[in-house]
């Protein structure tokens, strides 16, 4: 049997790129998807190929169903199978929660179009092939924002909560052949996060995480990629799970008491 085949949406940079490279290291052929970052996508493909993988670099906007279908068709035409799908493509608009006028209907629709509808369209496109093979695994790169309702904007929070719910709903109908799960990272040290904040705010966030989190670490793209790939290659009896990966941030601060309070 030949190498397994993985499609990773939004994989030119960040978590998507790290996931593509890790899967290449594990002897998968990979589809590297981008919308605008062609040079970065080609560089990611080069790194994957250095690990012996065959690659397809495919420009597609996952909010467009025909482009999702075309990307899947390209993988089938090249390799005849699709074993793994990582829905990593994401969109947000950084906007303080209290600024209700800062989000328009178009903002909500564009964010949902990628984060929720795009993931659904990719799943819909790969499912017939995975069902025919009799085996497949899908993992959605969600966010802690969809669990604790804190993130870059209310629209983003709502979209990730919807993605988490959709993951659970689909688990009911995709089995037994296909497992589907989601990973919910906290802040990740990526260009995507840094691009939405001032340098001062970004550095403060990282410092607070490294100081206050139980594990004293803010995730790297590679940290999150390891969990995404584990859901694909391992976890044979896990489906419909949303796994938080945040160094313990969701636990909140431990209450502090003086001896007089005890």
Helix 119-133 with 154-174: angle, nearest 10 deg:
20
- Pick 26 or 189 by higher pLDDT: 26
User: Alpha-carbon distance 123 to 78, whole Å?
Assistant: 19
User: Alpha-carbon distance 69 to 202, whole Å?
Assistant: 37
pLDDT value, residue 248: 84
Read off the pLDDT of each residue in 173-202 and give the average, rounded to a whole number: 83
pLDDT value, residue 158: 98
Check 84, 120, 156, 257 and give the catalytic one: 156
DSSP 32-97: EEESS-HHHHHHHHHHHHHTT--EEEEE--TTSHHHHHHHHHHHHHHHS---EEEE---------T
pLDDT tens digits for range 85-140: 999 999 999 999 999 999 999 999 999 999 999 999 999 999 999 999 999 999 99
pLDDT value, residue 65: 98
Our CA dihedral for 126, 128, 130, 133, rounded to 10 degrees, sits at: -150
User: Alpha-carbon distance 201 to 185, whole Å?
Assistant: 19
Q: Count other C-beta atoms under 10 Å from residue 173's C-beta.
A: 9
3-class secondary-structure state, position 213: coil
20: CB partners within 8 A, 6+ apart: 6, 8, 11, 30, 32, 44, 48
Entry pTM:
0.92
Q: Count other C-beta atoms under 10 Å from residue 256's C-beta.
A: 6
Q: Is 156 a catalytic residue?
A: yes
pLDDT value, residue 162: 98
pLDDT value, residue 240: 98
User: Alpha-carbon distance 156 to 150, whole Å?
Assistant: 9
Q: Is pLDDT at 262 greater than 60 in this prediction?
A: no
Domains parsed from the chain with CATH numbers: 4-247 (3.40.50.720)
């Amino acid at each position: 049997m030949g190498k397994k085949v993985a499609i990773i949406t939004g994989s030119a940079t960040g978590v998507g790129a790290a996931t593509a490279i890790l899967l290449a290291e594990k002897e998968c052929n990979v589809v590297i998807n981008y919308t605008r970052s062609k040079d970065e996508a080609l560089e990611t493909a080069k790194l994957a190929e250095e690990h012996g993988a065959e690659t397809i670099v495919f420009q597609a906007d996952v909010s467009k169903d025909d482009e999702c279908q075309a990307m899947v068709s390209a993988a089938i035409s090249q390799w005849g199978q699709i074993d793994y799908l990582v829905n990593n493509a994401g969109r947000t608009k950084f906007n303080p929660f209290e600024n209700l006028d800062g989000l328009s209907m178009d903002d909500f629709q564009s964010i949902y179009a990628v984060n929720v509808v795009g993931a659904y369209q990719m799943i819909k496109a790969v499912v017939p092939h995975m069902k025919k093979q009799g085996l497949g695994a899908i993992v959605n790169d969600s966010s802690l924002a969809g669990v604790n309702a804190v993130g870059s904007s209310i629209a983003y929070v709502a979209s990730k909560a919807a993605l988490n719910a959709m993951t659970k709903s689909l688990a009911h109908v995709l089995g037994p052949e296909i497992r589907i799960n989601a990973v919910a990272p906290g802040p990740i040290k990526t260009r995507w996060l840094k691009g939405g904040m001032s340098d001062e705010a970004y550095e403060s966030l990282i410092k607070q995480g490294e100081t206050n989190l139980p594990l004293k670490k803010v995730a790297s793209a590679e940290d999150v990629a390891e969990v995404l790939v584990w859901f694909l290659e391992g976890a044979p009896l896990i489906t419909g799970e949303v796994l938080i990966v945040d160094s313990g941030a969701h636990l909140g601060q431990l209450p502090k008491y003086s001896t007089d309070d005890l």
